[in-house]
Structure 1
Amino acid sequence: MAVRISFSFLSITLLLVSTSALDKKIEPGSFGYSGANGPERWGSLSPRFSVCSNGKSQSPVDIKKGILVQNKNLVSLVRDYKPANATLINNGFNIGIHFGGNVGGFTEGGKNYNLIQIHWHSPSEHLIDGHQAAAELHLVHQANDGSYSVIGVLYEIGNLDPLVAKVQNKLVELAKENCAATEEAHIALGTFDVKYFRRRSRKYFRYVGSLTTPPCTENITWTVLAKVRSISMQQLDLLKAPLQAAYKNNARPVQPLNERKIEAYKEA
């Protein structure tokens, strides 16, 4: 059974632990992906969202292979995740899985980053040489000092994705809740294992960017994996089904790279 939570725009705000709002409180439904509250207007919707328009290191970006910088100091990305208690969540603008306890993660730059949640966007937010994939999974990690590092995984339509397959029945249940943009629905998953991502990544792209939805906080380390995974059309439809029509296509347009560099790693 799903637990549904409703919110009043006038008096209640919700802490959304995602790349959409990792460290701020925002009102569900206060931004969207088209029309009067679409991405081009996020910066004017609230003073707290101003960096969405004024920031110089925004995400997502178009990763153009012709301008990549090879960084010999980077190493293969080794992730070690453990089974942990998890909850499937429709927060109004994306579908995600939030974890309780120590799930594990990876070490980068002398910091240990622990996985706190994952969520999906469709179509993909990051582009590769101008190509937009069918979907993108964000694995959100946090270090003890509060800094965030997000791993982006691109999907193309093809075979079943084993991770989504584990929650397909729960996604059907979540869709039946028919939540409004001002509501949030939770379904307990019990102990959940993200073993499909407990592996070494031998090729990836890295840059410093931002959250991809308001408040668009910057100084987020992004790692976009070069390996593209497969997801079936049915699975993608299941991930979209619980969302209201205005949020089924929930990808922010790519942002200017400005003076930033995108580094590349490929294991020899």
Structure 2
Amino acid sequence: MAMMRFHLAITSMALLALCTSADYFSANFSYTGPNGPANWGSLSPSFAACSNGKAQSPVDLIKSDIVINKQFKNIARNYLPTNATLVNNKFHIGVHFEGKVGDINVNGKNYSLKQLHWHSPSEHKANGSIHDAELHLVHLTQDLSNITVMAVLYKLGDPDPFISQFQDKLVELGKKKEIAIGTIDFEEINGSSRRYYTYVGSLTTPPCKEGVNWIILGKLRTLSSEQLKLLKAPLKPEFKHNARPLQQMNGRKIEMYYHLHGTHVTPPSKYHK
């Protein structure tokens, strides 16, 4: 039994590393130069899907690829306050959690929130429009066999209250790999959305693992220019622009949930801006 618990712990750490840190692999990658996205697949045998995969992410949320699924339900988010650590993962800035944060239910399966991180500019586009940043909330099933990433797109504007909780710590992160930030509150992230888009894709960093469920929320959030600069500041120059280029749809469709006053309606022609 002890050996089983040890194996589960190792598997959990490996899968979480796969979702968060390139240091888990011997090969390094970048967003520019010879180790940039066009060459990720050749940097390591583990990265082959980055070049050969047929269901890769990110993608453009183009109207012609979107279909409404009237069977979809709202996805409630009710994350609990918990102690957290701000982490410089080298290729993006993330937040890792010490305890259980909460679950979302997707297609009858529960996924637990494990970590979150930012990319800038946004990785997913909306009808060809690029946004200033994108937040990824990474969830795993209890058996660690399934990944769901919930994405939030940002535009410049008022400061994001969620980021404001640890904004001062971002200044210190340039000198340290990680910083404890105490209890973090999810009030600004909790709730539900009347619109979201979903498709099956991949991790957007090597090893570009496929079979990832993506949920892109339809409501834009705002962050200030200062907050955006702070999310980039601790990163090396080759990672300050850390958005993977768009990937081919290869026949995939993006399904959409749209809900207003208890009734499914025809969605607007453009992504909410």
Cα RMSD between the aligned structures? 1.8
Contact 1:18 1:140 in 2 (8 A): no
Residue 95 and residue 23 in structure 1: after superposition, are their counterparts in 2 closer, same or farther (change >3 A)?
A: closer
1:177-230 CA-partner distances (Å, limit 9, x unpaired)? 4xxxxxxx1101122122211101110100000000000000000000110100
Q: Which residue of 2 aligns with 1:171?
A: 170
- Aligned ranges for residues 186-205 of structure 1 at < 5 Å? 186-205=178-197
Q: Which residue of 2 aligns with 1:242?
A: 234
Deviation at 1:76? 1.2
SS at match of 1:209: strand
User: C-alpha separation between the residues in 1 aligned to 2:257 and 2:21?
Assistant: 27
Deviation at 1:105? 2.2
SS at match of 1:160: coil
User: C-alpha separation between the residues in 2 aligned to 1:166 and 1:16?
Assistant: 28
User: C-alpha separation between the residues in 2 aligned to 1:118 and 1:186?
Assistant: 14
Q: Which residue of 1 aligns with 2:77?
A: 79
SS at match of 2:188: helix
Deviation at 1:66? 2.8
Q: Which residue of 1 aligns with 2:142?
A: 144
Normalising by structure 1, what TM-score? Answer: 0.88
Normalising by structure 2, what TM-score? Answer: 0.86
User: C-alpha separation between the residues in 2 aligned to 1:24 and 1:237?
Assistant: 24
The more displaced of 241-250 and 140-149 is 140-149
Amino acid at match of 2:25: I
- Aligned ranges for residues 63-78 of structure 1 at < 5 Å? 63-78=61-76
Return the match for 2:198 from 199, 206, 222.
206
1:215-258 CA-partner distances (Å, limit 9, x unpaired)? 00000000001101001111000000000111000000010000
Deviation at 1:114? 0.8
Contact 2:197 2:216 in 1 (8 A): yes
Residue 51 and residue 65 in structure 1: after superposition, are their counterparts in 2 closer, same or farther (change >3 A)?
A: same
Deviation at 1:23? 11
Q: Which residue of 2 aligns with 1:226?
A: 218
Contact 1:89 1:187 in 2 (8 A): yes
Deviation at 1:25? 2.8
Relative contact order, CA 8 A, sep 6+: which one is greater? 1
Which structure features the higher share of strand residues? 1
Q: Which residue of 2 aligns with 1:181?
A: none
SS at match of 2:16: coil
Amino acid at match of 1:175: G
User: C-alpha separation between the residues in 1 aligned to 2:132 and 2:123?
Assistant: 9
Deviation at 1:145? 2.6
Q: Which residues of structure 2 form unaligned runs of 5+?
A: 1-12, 264-273
Residue 81 and residue 206 in structure 1: after superposition, are their counterparts in 2 closer, same or farther (change >3 A)?
A: same
- Aligned ranges for residues 35-184 of structure 1 at < 5 Å? 35-146=33-144, 147-177=146-176
Amino acid at match of 2:174: A
User: C-alpha separation between the residues in 2 aligned to 1:20 and 1:137?
Assistant: 14
User: C-alpha separation between the residues in 2 aligned to 1:218 and 1:65?
Assistant: 23
Deviation at 1:21? 4.8
Structure 1 consecutive aligned stretches of length 4 or more whose deviation exceeds 4 Å: 18-24
Amino acid at match of 2:118: W
Q: Which residues of structure 1 form unaligned runs of 5+?
A: 1-13, 178-184
SS at match of 1:197: coil
SS at match of 1:124: coil
Deviation at 1:15? 5.2
Q: Identity, % of aligned pairs?
A: 51
Aligned length: 247
Q: Which residue of 2 aligns with 1:25?
A: 24
SS at match of 2:143: coil
1:33-63 CA-partner distances (Å, limit 9, x unpaired)? 0110000000000011001000000000001
Amino acid at match of 2:107: G
SS at match of 1:81: coil
User: C-alpha separation between the residues in 2 aligned to 1:130 and 1:19?
Assistant: 29
Amino acid at match of 2:227: Q
Contact 1:106 1:113 in 2 (8 A): yes
Residue 186 and residue 92 in structure 1: after superposition, are their counterparts in 2 closer, same or farther (change >3 A)?
A: same
Contact 1:43 1:54 in 2 (8 A): yes
User: C-alpha separation between the residues in 1 aligned to 2:253 and 2:33?
Assistant: 32
